[in-house]
Amino acid sequence: MAVRSLKLQIMPNTYTHKIRCIDAIVYDGINLLDLAGPMQAFWTAGTYRPGYQFRVLSADGKPVETQPGIKVAVDGELAQWNKEADLLIPGGMVDQEISAGTFTPLLKEAALRKSDTRIISICSGALILAQAGILDGKQASTHWSRASMAQASYPGVDWEINKLFVQSGNIYTSAGVTAGIDLALHLIESDLGSAVSLKTAQELVVYLRRNGGQAQFSAALSLQAAGQSNIAKLSELILSQPAANWTIEKMAQSSGVSTRTLHRRLKEDIGTTPALFVENLRLDIARSALLKQTSIKQAAHLSGFGHIQNLRRAFQRNFGITPTEYVERFS
């Protein structure tokens, strides 16, 4: 892909940087946006200050078919990867690639490089990295729907499913689909400076910085994935009475299970504790209220937190930002 070069008018060209090569490793069944989203962000940044060169490689050098059925042409085969390039691994239908281990030798070699080159995975691409063993002992993120599989299959990885992206040394992993753009903007800021990342975000009409601790999905939505009707009914009850004193005993009784069973199901199906389960549901209510321009005081009351300070502490603990900052970023 040719990089279009424009003179940057927004600031003097004093930010030192190098041109980074990025080799995207693709396979049949990739999620198209996992590849196109970050690459578009890098390319757009390059129109303000040249910083990236791209190639797309497949195992055999042949085009690959994406999940939507669109075929993607490639520049070469896996054996031609540039050892000085960043590697980008998109997610998608990764199970066959995990079983085959096609990328394992390359990833193991790439992880041992001493330069500042990076390995970047998008969405379920992190599972390919985990299979190669290069995430052992490291923090990583992946798509929420793969959480149970990831934790069971790769217990040596410290999975941070709630985070949009995670850096662990020179390895970067991101959550579902559009989180790849969040990660790309973060890398652009590191490579080319904040002014370029801001202009890139403006051009793409996306947030410059969705908070890294922002949950991938709401607590209520996670219940749909869990598939536990009694837990789902409990969530509906809590959402209807958020200010109630939801002790573990009351929650277990309301869902018709023992306290031990409730603990286990919440841990296995959603990856949380009863206390955090209630807090997350209350945060859902608070976030919804705030985005409807409800005052922070009223949002705290409606969501069951009671006092503004309780709401602020919950926001800082879960999202790393205040309710006011949340409204500024997402409203």
Q: Over 50: is that where the pLDDT of 283 sits?
A: yes
Yes or no: is domain 219-329 CATH 1.10.10.60?
yes
Q: Over 60: is that where the pLDDT of 73 sits?
A: yes
237 versus 127: which is more confidently predicted?
A: 127
Residue boundaries of the structural domains of the chain: 20-204, 219-329
122-161 tens-digit pLDDT: 999 999 999 999 999 999 999 888 888 999 999 999 998 8
Least confident range of 186-200, 203-217, 304-318: 203-217
Which of the given ranges, 70-74, 189-193, 280-284, has the highest pLDDT on average? 70-74
- Residue 261 has a pLDDT of 92
- Residue 4 has a pLDDT of 38
Which of the given ranges, 173-177, 181-185, 316-320, 321-325, has the highest pLDDT on average? 181-185
Backbone phi and psi for residue 172, each to the nearest 5 degrees, phi listed first? -120, 130
144 versus 57: which is more confidently predicted?
A: 57
Any long-range contacts for 62-65 (C-beta under 8 Å, 24+ apart)? Answer: 64/26, 64/27, 64/28, 64/29, 64/30, 65/28, 65/29
Percent share of the chain, pLDDT over 90:
60
SS3 track for the chain: CCCCCCCCCCCCCCCCCCCEEEEEEECCCECHHHHHHHHHHHHHHHHHCCCEEEEEEECCCCCEECCCCCEECCCEEHHHCCCCCEEEECCECCHHHHHHCCCHHHHHHHHCCCCCCCEEECCCHHHHHHHCCCCCCCEECCCHHHHHHHHHHCCCCEECCCCCEEEECCEEEECCCCHHHHHHHHHHHHHHCHHHHHHHHHHHCCCCCCCCCCCCCCHHHHHHHHCCHHHHHHHHHHHHCCCCCCCHHHHHHHHCCCHHHHHHHHHHHHCCCHHHHHHHHHHHHHHHHHHCCCCHHHHHHHCCCCCHHHHHHHHHHHHCCCHHHHHHHHC
Give the C-alpha separation, 253 to 248, whole Å. 9
**What b/e string do you get for 301-319 counting C-beta neighbours within 10 Å, with b at 16 or more?**
bbbbbeebeebbebbeebb
Q: Over 50: is that where the pLDDT of 9 sits?
A: no
Q: Over 60: is that where the pLDDT of 76 sits?
A: yes
83-125 tens-digit pLDDT: 999 999 999 999 999 999 999 999 999 999 999 999 999 999 9
With 0-12 CB in 10 A as exposed, 13-18 as middle and 19+ as buried, what is 269? middle
197-216 tens-digit pLDDT: 888 988 998 766 665 444 55
Least confident range of 25-34, 132-141, 273-282: 273-282
Across the range 54-66, mean pLDDT stands at 97
Least confident range of 49-53, 117-121, 280-284: 280-284
- Residue 331 has a pLDDT of 59
Q: Chain-centre distance of CA 223, in angstroms?
A: 19
For domain 20-204, the CATH architecture is: 3-Layer(aba) Sandwich (3.40)
Across the range 216-221, mean pLDDT stands at 53
23 versus 204: which is more confidently predicted?
A: 23
Least confident range of 4-13, 150-159, 207-216, 271-280: 4-13
Q: How many CB atoms lie within 10 A of CB 115?
A: 8
Q: Over 80: is that where the pLDDT of 271 sits?
A: no
Q: Are 219 and 162 in contact (CB under 8 A)?
A: no
Chain mean pLDDT for the chain:
86
Q: Are 173 and 166 in contact (CB under 8 A)?
A: yes
Q: Chain-centre distance of CA 260, in angstroms?
A: 31
